[in-house]
C-alpha cells in the first residue's frame, strides 16, 4: 500500500502546534486554494470519533467524501479515516513529537489506495502521489507561516473580533486565521442571513440598521464589506452600489462603534490602493495625495466615513490594499483560465505597475494592524516588489507553464470593459508598503513567483516524500 510522508520541524512548542490543529479554522487554513472543497456536515469532534462530510468538485464532477476521526491522543496524535469517498483507502495520521527547546516535529502520514483496485493503481497511482506531494507541501508551509504570524503579532488571548465581509475572499481567510489563534470571530451578517450562527451581528447597510447591542463586548473590528468592483462594465447603477456600500456601510458601522461604551480598541477598515489613482513610475507611499478617477473618489469617501470612530478615540487603521492574490477569487482567479489555455499576455503597453499582495500577507497585515498599538491611519497593503504588467505576466506564465504571447491592446480593454477596464487593467501605480515595514511587518511573500507557486501549488522542488 502506498504511504505518503511529510515532515516539518517547527520552532513552536508541541502544545501550541497541536492546539492549532484542534481549532475551527484549521481545516480552512490547510485546504489548498486551488481545490474546491466544502464542509457539508460535521458531527462530533476529533477527540470523540466525530465525522466530517466533505463536498469535492473536480471539473464537472461533484464527489462526497465522508471521513471519521478514529484516534486522538493530546499532543501526540490524531487520525482520520475514509468511510466512503474517492479513494480505495485513506488513513491519515497526524503525529507530533517534542524535539525539546520549544520545538516540534510535525509528521503527516497517509496510507492510501487508488479507487478501482488494480486498474486505478495502474493508471492513477502516479497522479495521486504527485497531488499528495503538492497538497502536503502547501499544508506544511501554510502551517509554519500561520504559527509565525500568530507569534510575531500576538493579540490579547481570547479576543473577540467583529468582522464585516467575513464570507469574502479576505474575510474567510482572516476568520480562519484568528480562530486558529484561539480568538472568537463574530461576523456582521445581513438580517435574515444564515451566516454566523449564534455569533452573527445583524446589520443592513442598505437600510441603515445595525444591532448595536450585539456589538457589546467586541474588542476589535475589521471592516471588509463592500460591493465588488469587478464586472464587465460600470453602469451608473453599479457605480452607485460601489460607492454606497463603502461610504454608507462604513459610516453606519463607525457611528455605532463611536456610541458604544466601552468601545472596541481598534478598527481596521479596508480601503484600496486605487486611492492614489494612476501614477506611472512614481514610487508611492502613504504620504502621497489622492489621485483622480472614480475609484480614488470612492476610497476618499470610504476612508472619510471612519471619522466618527477615530474622533471617538478608536485607533483606526485604513488598509489600502492592492491586488490580493489567490486562485479562490479576485483578479488572479479571473486570470488563471486564459493563462492556462495559453492565451494570456500583457495588457496594453505592459508598462503600468501592478501593486499586488499575497492573500496570506493581506491577512497577516490585518493581524499586525490589530496587534500594533502605535499603528493608525493609512497603511499600504501591497508587496514591497510591485511589477509592471508585462513582468507580472511573464512570471504567471512561467508558473503555470504556458506561453504569454497574446497581448490585449488597451483599445480592446476600453472597448470591452469601459471605465472599469481602464482603471483596473490599463492604469497603474507603483505603490510600496513603507508604513507596514517601518512598523515591524515582515512579508511572507515579497516575491511574486514564490507567492504564485505557493497559491497555485507549483513548488519547484515538488515537496514531500513518497513511499
Question: Among candidates 241, 214, 239, which has minimal Cα distance to 225?
Answer: 241
Q: What is the 3-state secondary structure (H, E, C) of the chain?
A: CCEEEEEEEECCCHHHHHHHHHCCCHHHHHCCCCCEEEEEEEECCCCCCCEEEEEEEECCEEEEEEEEEEEEECCCEEEEEEEECCCCEEEEEEEEEEEECCEEEEEEEEEEECCCHHHHHHHHHHHHHHHHHHHHHHHHHHHHHHHHHHHHCCCCCCCEEEEECCCCHHHHHHHHHHHHCCCEEEEEEECCCCCCHHHCEEEECCCCEECHHHHCCCCEEEECCCCCCCCCCCCHHHHHHHHHHHHHHHHHHHHHHHHCCCCCCEEEEEEEHHHHCCCCCCEECCCCCCCCCHHHHHHHHHHHCCHHHHHCCCEEEEEEECEEEECCEHHHHHHHHHHHCCCCCCECCCCCEECEEEHHHHHHHHHHHHHCCCCCEEEEECCCCCEEHHHHHHHHHHHHCCCCCCCECHHHHHHHHHHHHHHHHHCCCEECCHHHHHCCCCCCCCCHHHHHHHHHCCCCCCCCECC
Cell for 206?
A: 442598505
Tell me the pTM.
0.94
The answer to whether residues 211 and 191 touch, using CB atoms and an 8 Å cutoff, is no
State how far the Cα of 436 lies from the Cα of 171, in Å rounded to an integer: 20
State how far the Cα of 239 lies from the Cα of 233, in Å rounded to an integer: 10
Residue 35, CB half-sphere, CA atoms under 13 Å: how many?
A: 21
Distances (CA, A) of 398 to 359, 408, 450: 20, 18, 12
Whose cell is 504559527? That residue is 147
Question: Among candidates 221, 156, 226, which has minimal Cα distance to 186?
Answer: 221
For residue 401, what are the contacts with CB-CB under 8 A and spacing of at least 6?
Answer: none
Phi, psi (rounded to 5 degrees) for 56: -115, 140
From first CA to last CA, the distance across the chain in angstroms is 9
pLDDT at 466: 47
- Specify the pairing of strand 51-58 against strand 3-10: unpaired
Q: Which residues pair with 188 in a beta bridge?
A: 164, 201
The reply to whether omega before 97 is within 30° of 0 (cis) is: no
Cell for 24?
A: 475551527
For residue 262, what are the contacts with CB-CB under 8 A and spacing of at least 6?
Answer: none
CATH of domain 3-152: 3.30.530.20
pLDDT at 197: 60
State how far the Cα of 188 lies from the Cα of 208, in Å rounded to an integer: 13
The answer to whether residues 270 and 223 touch, using CB atoms and an 8 Å cutoff, is yes
* Domains in the chain: boundaries: 3-152, 160-456
Cell for 467?
A: 513511499
Which residue stretches of the chain have pLDDT < 70?
A: 118-123, 192-197, 461-467
pLDDT at 431: 98
CATH of domain 160-456: 3.40.50.720
DSSP 95-107: EEEEEETTEEEEE
CA angle 137–142–144, rounded 5-degree value: 100
Amino acid at each position: 500500500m502506498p504511504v505518503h510522508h511529510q515532515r516539518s520541524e517547527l520552532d513552536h512548542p508541541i502544545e501550541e502546534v497541536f492546539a492549532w490543529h484542534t481549532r475551527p479554522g484549521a481545516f480552512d487554513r490547510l485546504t489548498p486554494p486551488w481545490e474546491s472543497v466544502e464542509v457539508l456536515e460535521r458531527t462530533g469532534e476529533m477527540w470523540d470519533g466525530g465525522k466530517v462530510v466533505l463536498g469535492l468538485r473536480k471539473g464537472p464532477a461533484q464527489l462526497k467524501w465522508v471521513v471519521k476521526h478514529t484516534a486522538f491522543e493530546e499532543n501526540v496524535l490524531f487520525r482520520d479515516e475514509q468511510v466512503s469517498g474517492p479513494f480505495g483507502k485513506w488513513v491519515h495520521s497526524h503525529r507530533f513529537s517534542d524535539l525539546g527547546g520549544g520545538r516540534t516535529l510535525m509528521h503527516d502520514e497517509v496510507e492510501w489506495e487508488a479507487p478501482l483496485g488494480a486498474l486505478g493503481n495502474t493508471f492513477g497511482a502516479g497522479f495521486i502521489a504527485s497531488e499528495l506531494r503538492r497538497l502536503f507541501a502547501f499544508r506544511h508551509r501554510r502551517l509554519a507561516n500561520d504559527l509565525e504570524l500568530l507569534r510575531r503579532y500576538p493579540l490579547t488571548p481570547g479576543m473577540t473580533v467583529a468582522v464585516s465581509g467575513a464570507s469574502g475572499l479576505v474575510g474567510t481567510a482572516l476568520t480562519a486565521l484568528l480562530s486558529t489563534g484561539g480568538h472568537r470571530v463574530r461576523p456582521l451578517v445581513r438580517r435574515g442571513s444564515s451566516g454566523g450562527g449564534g455569533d452573527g451581528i445583524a446589520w443592513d447597510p442598505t437600510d441603515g440598521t445595525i444591532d448595536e447591542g450585539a456589538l457589546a463586548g467586541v474588542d476589535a473590528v475589521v471592516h471588509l464589506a463592500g460591493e465588488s468592483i469587478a464586472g464587465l462594465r460600470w453602469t451608473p447603477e453599479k457605480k452607485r452600489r460601489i460607492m454606497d456600500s463603502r461610504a454608507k456601510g462604513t459610516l453606519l458601522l463607525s457611528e455605532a462603534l463611536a456610541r458604544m461604551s466601552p468601545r472596541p480598541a481598534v478598527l481596521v477598515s479596508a480601503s484600496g490602493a486605487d486611492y492614489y489613482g494612476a501614477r506611472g513610475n512614481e514610487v508611492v507611499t502613504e504620504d502621497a495625495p489622492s489621485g483622480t478617477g472614480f475609484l480614488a473618489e470612492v476610497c476618499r469617501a470610504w476612508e472619510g466615513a471612519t471619522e466618527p470612530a477615530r474622533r471617538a478615540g478608536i485607533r483606526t487603521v485604513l488598509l489600502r490594499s492592492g491586488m490580493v492574490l489567490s486562485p479562490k477569487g479576485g483578479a488572479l482567479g479571473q486570470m488563471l483560465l486564459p493563462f492556462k489555455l495559453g492565451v494570456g499576455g500583457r495588457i496594453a503597453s505592459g508598462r503600468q505597475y501592478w501593486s499586488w499582495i499575497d492573500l496570506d500577507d493581506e491577512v497577516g497585515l490585518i493581524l499586525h494592524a490589530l496587534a500594533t498599538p502605535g499603528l493608525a491611519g493609512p497603511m499600504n497593503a501591497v508587496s514591497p516588489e510591485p511589477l509592471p504588467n508585462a513582468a507580472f505576466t511573464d512570471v504567471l506564465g512561467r508558473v503555470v507553464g504556458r506561453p504569454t504571447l497574446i497581448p490585449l491592446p488597451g483599445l480592446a480593454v476600453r472597448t470591452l470593459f469601459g471605465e472599469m477596464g481602464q482603471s483596473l487593467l490599463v492604469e497603474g501605480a507603483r505603490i510600496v508598503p513603507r508604513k507596514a515595514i517601518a512598523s515591524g511587518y515582515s512579508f511572507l511573500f515579497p516575491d511574486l513567483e514564490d507567492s504564485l507557486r505557493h497559491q497555485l501549488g507549483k513548488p519547484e522542488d515538488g515537496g514531500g516524500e513518497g513511499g
